[in-house]
Each structure stands twice: as structure tokens, then as C-alpha cells.
Homo-oligomer: A and B are copies of this chain.
Amino acid sequence: MENREISQAVIGRLPRYFRYLGELKDEGVERISSQELSDIMQVTASQIRQDFNNFGGFGQQGYGYKVEYLYEEIGKILGLDRTHNLIIIGAGNLGQALANYMNFERRGFLFKGIFDKNPALWGRKIRNMEIKPMEEMEAFVREKGIDIAVLTIPKGSAVEVAEKLVANGIRGIWNFAHVDLPVPDKIQVENVHLSDSLMKLAYNINQYEHREH
């Protein structure tokens, strides 16, 4: 669809646009101007128009944007019109929580398996899916065409597991392990470092105290 490289700053805003447009659509709103959307989302109308125009004109001068159309188009840009096969590696609390979060399936992320190295968990069912031994992971990724692996394992083993995933054709890793993964450029990694996020919150709380106000 598109050859220019879009900045990650723009990409990072797309899911939020998508969310707001989905809500507007559900409320039955048919059209919206960048200014109206600006008021709701607290970003400048200028940024909204710039962002959308990275992907070609979705609007109509003098009219604005058709909510449903824009929603669909942003969904396509995000790749939500296709399906992705996803596995979870690490069936601890967080892995189980993510497995049970049904909403991902709605967006085309198909939960295909969950693995753990702990034998005590093997065979136990989560979302009607048996937890499998880690040893079976590599063949599974290769043979079932798994696109995305969710890493919810301790950081000690994360790098090694990531290497195996890459060797077996994974395309993206959603990394909850508290470590940076050294993978080839062609593999996409999205980090969710929860403790980093909490530290940032702590900083902002304490900082506020030290400011004059």
C-alpha cells in the first residue's frame, strides 16, 4: 500500500485513533472533522490531519471524515483485517491472564498454543488449550505457521527462547520479559516492560511533589 517509512510516533497513535473512531461508530456518529476529533482526543487537529495523510487522503474537503470508513481504513493499516497466529510462552500468572483476555481474538490474533517448561503445568487447560512442554515449541512454531510469540517468561531464559523462535520463523515477539532481545532486524519486537512503566509513574508522582504548586 505504502512505501515511505512512517515514523513510529505516528504508528503509536494509530491504535488510539482506532479506539476513538470505534467508539464514535458505535455511538452512531457518521462524520467528524479533524477539529471535533481534536476536541475529543486532546491532540491538535493539525496533527490528526498530518497523521492521516501519511496514508493518503481519507477525508473530504468541506465535509470532514466518514467515521466508519476511517475506522475501517485505520484497521487495515494496522493489519487487523488479517489474522495472526499467536502462541504464549510461559504459563505463569501473566501468561494465563493474557491467554484469557478474549478480546485479542476479536482483532484477528488467534490463540494457537501455550507452552511452559514446568511439567506440573503440562496438560492443564487454559481457554480450552492444553499447556504444552517447552520442547514442543520449536516444531509447533515451524509447522503451524506461528507469526507472533508472547514472551511471559523470566528474563533469564528469554534471550535463548527468542533465538529459537527466530530460528523457526517467528515474525514478531511481544516481549514481557524484562530484558532487551537481540534479534535480527527483520523480526519485530514490541516490549512491554511493566516495571519500567511503574518506575516512570513513581518518578512523575514524586516529581509533582517537588514542584511549586
Contact = CB atoms under 8 A, between A and B. Distances in A.
A84 B190 CA distance: 28
Contact of A199 (B80, B204, B206, B210): B80
A139 interface: no
Most B CB atoms within 10 A — which of A79, A109, A197, A203? A203
Contacts of A190: 197-198, 200-201, 204
A98 B189 CA distance: 22
A11 interface: yes
A101 to B, nearest CB: 7
Contacts of A193: 15-16
24 contacts: A2-B207, A11-B200, A12-B200, A15-B195, A18-B199, A77-B203, A78-B199, A79-B206, A80-B202, A84-B202, A93-B93, A94-B97, A96-B97, A104-B195, A107-B195, A171-B205, A171-B208, A172-B204, A186-B208, A186-B213, A188-B204, A190-B197, A190-B201, A190-B204
Given A3-B211, A104-B198, A192-B197, 7 more contacts: A11-B204, A15-B193, A15-B199, A84-B205, A109-B198, A190-B197, A190-B198
